[in-house]
Amino acid sequence: MNPSQGGMNNLSTLIKRLEAATSRLEDIAQSAATFDHQSNGDRSVQSDHPASSSTKPQQPVAIAKDASQPQAPPAAAAPLPPAIEAMDELLNGEVKAFVEASRGIDPLIEEQAESVQKAFIDQRRFLVVTTRAKKPDMNSPAFNDLLKDLQQDIGSVGDIRDSHRASPMKDQLAMIGEGIGALQWLIMEGKPSDYVTEVIGGAQMYGNRVLRTYKETDPNQVKFVQSYYTLLKSLLAYIKKHYANGMTWNANGIDAGQAYREAGDFNSAPKSNGAPPPPSSGGAPPPPPPPLPNFDNVPAPPPPPPGAAPNAKAPASDMGAVFEQLNRGEAVTSGLKKVNKSQMTHKNPALRAASTVPDTTTARSKSPGPDIKPKPASMRQNSTSSSQKPTPRLEPKKELDGNKWLIENHDNPSTPIELEVTLTQSILITNCKNTTIILKGKANAVSISNSPRLQILVETLVSSVDVINSPNFAVQVTGALPTILLDQVDGASVYLGTESLGTEVFTSKCSAVNVVLPPEEGGEGDGKECPLPEQMRTVIKGGKVVSEIVEFAG
């Protein structure tokens, strides 16, 4: 072989190897975000030999100084902060378990659980922003934009509860609606764990009702409630570990609005989708229906007395013969026997005395009437008769059971009942008549039932005042109160203060409800009394029912 030809072949082979190495380096540079395409240590090599252009045109290529040394691996993505990783574990653990536990119970509960999951995902996005951005002004529109999606999801959970208060699942919906307020810890000053503890107490008040109702009958309901308790307690533990003293921001971070927009692509979603897929056709079957009643131990009816005709229904085929006989016209009475006056017992006393048929004019048996159910205890308590001894009244009760005050069976006490309450306590008032109750401090919630002419004075409540079947009710609020719920209340007065003008009042089957507003700032005199509407006007428009409030004149 010619030495010059062999040298050219070696040079061509070397150039091809350099091209292959260069192509590999370019592929690595495209896949690694931190790779520098214009490294100072690179050098350009261009071939001027005709044999090297057999496959593709020659272009300047970049290679490393020493191709024999292994190249460094591409830089890995920045790790997530520990608080965000912990939130991902919460989303993929307790949140996912809660959504799965809601499956198959009720469509409203499933919809509400999905809104809870969206709210937790929006909470995570907000936390990502706080790790990358400086704290904005909490009164600025930019800060409100950060919470817009989260507030919308929280509102969706509350709307489902408020729109279905007559649903058989009202306690379950109320439990979720109370607990979702825990996500507002993001804007709480001081220690947010104290606030979340209060919210958990309000959710447990409704969840415990569900547990008492379905403890022995429906384990799925019990599992659903307990999964929600676990979710809220896990959130409380997360806050105590990562945000014990409140929300933290990045002092050297970027603008919050920019961080929020980038958070949609910068690790904004958890590692796995928190929403479980719907059950497929080959998946687990739906839960079995409740068992049918057992009639094996029901005693059989007694046999008919001897000689009595069996009281059995004629088969449907015999009804045709009956109607055929009735359609005979005047001939229908042709088979009857004629009775003369001597055989008539009502005209012949001697015959009536010898008859085996009892004389209905002298002795008539009285047919038994329907069974009379006893009156409820609340009615027997107040009903007395001159011929009977009065029913003893139930013993009044005022005691603290865990985090719940129980006030029962008070009737016109001589002095008001005063309670020192805390954030974690709720108050249950039942069967109290002509009673005045004063709550000192900040409590969680108040529930009132079957208590006519009850008056209650509250300072501040975290949740609501729920009143059922308590006519002539009155409540006065000196601090803040989010919600007042009135159900089957005939006559009520709600006195609001300057801090409670944002209170929402819900009424159902109520009449004569008045809201008394405080006098204007700097003004004197009595407050302004505003009656709530009772009358509705309903018309049909375009095949749809349209209802509107009838305005009061004056």
**How do residues 265-282 score in pLDDT, each as one tens digit?**
444 444 444 344 444 444
Contact 511, 534 (CB under 8 A): yes
- Mean pLDDT across the stretch 528-550? 86
Contact 145, 168 (CB under 8 A): no
- Please check the confidence at residue 285 and state whether its pLDDT lies above 60: no
Sequence-separated (6 or more) residues with CB below 8 Å from residue 330: none
Cα–Cα distance for residue pair 312/65, rounded to 1 Å: 107
Amino acid letter for position 418: E
Backbone angles phi, psi at 514, to 5 degrees: -120, 140
- Mean pLDDT across the stretch 114-138? 88
DSSP per position, 368-388: P-PPPPPPPHHHHHH---TTS
Predicted local confidence at residue 223, as pLDDT = 92
Grade residue 194 by pLDDT with cuts at 50, 70 and 90: confident
Predicted local confidence at residue 78, as pLDDT = 63
Cα–Cα distance for residue pair 64/439, rounded to 1 Å: 79
Amino acid letter for position 350: A
The 10s digit of each residue's pLDDT in 161-192 is 888 888 889 999 999 999 999 998 888 877 88
Question: How close are the terminal C-alpha atoms of the chain, in Å?
Answer: 118
Cα–Cα distance for residue pair 135/256, rounded to 1 Å: 7
**Domain residue spans of the chain:** 3-63, 82-263, 397-549
CB atoms within 10 A of CB 13: 12
Predicted local confidence at residue 315, as pLDDT = 47
Predicted local confidence at residue 226, as pLDDT = 92
Exposure string over 73-106, b if 16+ CB within 10 A, otherwise e: eeeeeeebbebbebbbebbeebbbbbbebbbebb
Residue 548, token pair as written in the block = 């509107």
Contact 90, 235 (CB under 8 A): yes
Grade residue 394 by pLDDT with cuts at 50, 70 and 90: confident
Cα–Cα distance for residue pair 119/148, rounded to 1 Å: 11
| Domains 82-263 and 397-549 equal at CATH topology level | no
Question: Which residue in 45, 42, 44 sits closest to 64, CA to CA?
Answer: 42
Cα–Cα distance for residue pair 440/343, rounded to 1 Å: 88
Q: Which residue has the tokens 């008859």?
A: 355
Helix (H, G, I), strand (E, B) or coil at 179: helix
According to CATH, the topology of domain 82-263 is 1.25.40
Contact 471, 449 (CB under 8 A): no
- Please check the confidence at residue 420 and state whether its pLDDT lies above 80: yes
Question: Which residue in 466, 499, 472, 496 sits closest to 484, CA to CA?
Answer: 466
Q: Cα torsion for 505, 508, 510, 512, to the nearest 10°? A: 30
- Mean pLDDT across the stretch 279-296? 43
What is the rounded average pLDDT for all residues in the chain?
75
Predicted local confidence at residue 372, as pLDDT = 61
**Half-sphere exposure of residue 94, counting CA atoms within 13 Å on the CB side?**
20
Predicted local confidence at residue 93, as pLDDT = 93
Per the model's pLDDT, the better-predicted residue between 122 and 60 turns out to be 122
Cα–Cα distance for residue pair 259/266, rounded to 1 Å: 9
DSSP state of 283: S
CATH class of 397-549: mainly beta
- Please check the confidence at residue 290 and state whether its pLDDT lies above 50: no
Question: Which residue in 283, 258, 255, 244 sits closest to 104, CA to CA?
Answer: 283
Per the model's pLDDT, the better-predicted residue between 200 and 364 turns out to be 200
Cα–Cα distance for residue pair 204/225, rounded to 1 Å: 9
DSSP per position, 115-160: HHHHHHHHHHHHHHHHHHBPPPPTTSHHHHHHTHHHHHHHHHHHHH
Cα–Cα distance for residue pair 7/17, rounded to 1 Å: 15
Predicted local confidence at residue 63, as pLDDT = 39
Grade residue 355 by pLDDT with cuts at 50, 70 and 90: low
- Please check the confidence at residue 500 and state whether its pLDDT lies above 60: yes
pTM: 0.41
Sequence-separated (6 or more) residues with CB below 8 Å from residue 65: 41, 42, 43
Sequence-separated (6 or more) residues with CB below 8 Å from residue 539: 545, 546
Which of 42-56, 336-350, 381-395 comes out lowest in average pLDDT? 42-56
Question: Which residue in 445, 430, 442, 441 sits closest to 399, CA to CA?
Answer: 430
- Mean pLDDT across the stretch 87-112? 92
DSSP state of 333: G
* Adjacency order of strands within the sheet including 417-420: 417-420, 436-440, 455-458, 473-477, 490-495, 511-517, 528-531
Question: Which residue in 293, 164, 288 sits closest to 220, CA to CA?
Answer: 288
Grade residue 458 by pLDDT with cuts at 50, 70 and 90: very high
- Mean pLDDT across the stretch 420-425? 89
Predicted local confidence at residue 334, as pLDDT = 66
- What percent of the chain has a predicted confidence (pLDDT) above 90? 24
Grade residue 353 by pLDDT with cuts at 50, 70 and 90: low
Sequence-separated (6 or more) residues with CB below 8 Å from residue 98: 113, 116, 117, 224, 227, 228, 230, 231
**Residues facing 418 on adjacent strands:** 438
- Please check the confidence at residue 313 and state whether its pLDDT lies above 50: no
DSSP state of 54: S
Predicted local confidence at residue 17, as pLDDT = 78
Predicted local confidence at residue 270, as pLDDT = 47
Predicted local confidence at residue 437, as pLDDT = 94
**Residues facing 6 on adjacent strands:** none
Grade residue 43 by pLDDT with cuts at 50, 70 and 90: very low
Q: Which residue has the tokens 């008769």?
A: 385
Cα–Cα distance for residue pair 14/257, rounded to 1 Å: 54
CB atoms within 10 A of CB 327: 9
Per the model's pLDDT, the better-predicted residue between 454 and 293 turns out to be 454
Amino acid letter for position 180: I
The 10s digit of each residue's pLDDT in 59-78 is 444 434 444 444 544 444 56
Grade residue 356 by pLDDT with cuts at 50, 70 and 90: low
